[in-house]
Amino acid sequence: MPFTLIYWEVRRVKISLTQRGLIVDNKGAIGIGSLIIFIAMIMVAGIAASVMIQTMNSLEQQALQTGQQTMRDVSSGLRVTHVSGFYNGSTLDQIAIFLRTIAGSDGIDLTYAFIQLSDSIKEVILNYTTSVYSSSVSSGIFGTVDPSLLTSKAYGLMVISDVDDSCTSTSPTINDDDQVVLLINTTKCFSGISTRTRVFGNVIPEYGISGIISFTTPSVYINTIVEL
């Protein structure tokens, strides 16, 4: 066989072998790429599952917390049993709000409770003051504490019943079977309350149901203590 033909035959064989080698290398590269993609898919799925689990746990905790707060707001609260006023000869210059918790309520700290009250003309917001407090009613509802210490922004407190001594001057917390009186100087709030006056408002606790205040004064004041 001529030398030229032998050279081209050898070259053709080398090219064929080289091409076969390239084919084998391409198959290996495709296999490794598929493996990388598969591992990446598993990692992404794992991360997504982890995020979903964390989100579900967070939502579960938030739902439990919201449920507990809702139950507390619904099952706790204050109840105004009745209201009395003191007639000074011209107007009612003081009112006493008798207050209890609703049945099954958690203890409520009146330090964080405020009174929203209106005489249909003016509205005031009153907070508890420790300077006007009595652990008992020694000289009557309107004679135990000094009403001059009350302002248009503060109400006082007297304890009628407190079995567990939870209602103190610095932490007036009331619970089941406790009863207290909230005192308001209406002269400083409204310049007194005249006859035929509609008065309304709420005793709003830190959480739970508010105690409702609503009454209309009589057409004439006869007695010194007026039941409203």
From 75, 91, 126, the end of a domain falls on 75
Same domain, yes or no: 51 and 158: no
pLDDT of residue 215: 95
pLDDT of residue 76: 81
List pLDDT tens digits, range 160-207: 999 899 999 999 999 888 999 999 999 999 999 999 999 999 999 988
**Which domain range does residue 57 map to?**
1-75
Give pLDDT < 70 ranges for the chain.
Answer: 1-31, 33, 59-60, 63-75
Gap between the Cα atoms of 98 and 96, Å rounded: 6
Gap between the Cα atoms of 159 and 181, Å rounded: 6
Gap between the Cα atoms of 76 and 58, Å rounded: 27
Same domain, yes or no: 24 and 95: no
Same domain, yes or no: 65 and 116: no
Q: Tokens at residue 112, please?
A: 């964080």
How many structural domains are present in the chain?
Answer: 2
Same domain, yes or no: 36 and 123: no
pLDDT of residue 15: 45
List pLDDT tens digits, range 197-225: 999 999 999 888 899 999 999 999 999 99
Same domain, yes or no: 53 and 30: yes
pTM over 0.85: no
pLDDT of residue 90: 94
Same domain, yes or no: 16 and 104: no
Same domain, yes or no: 50 and 87: no
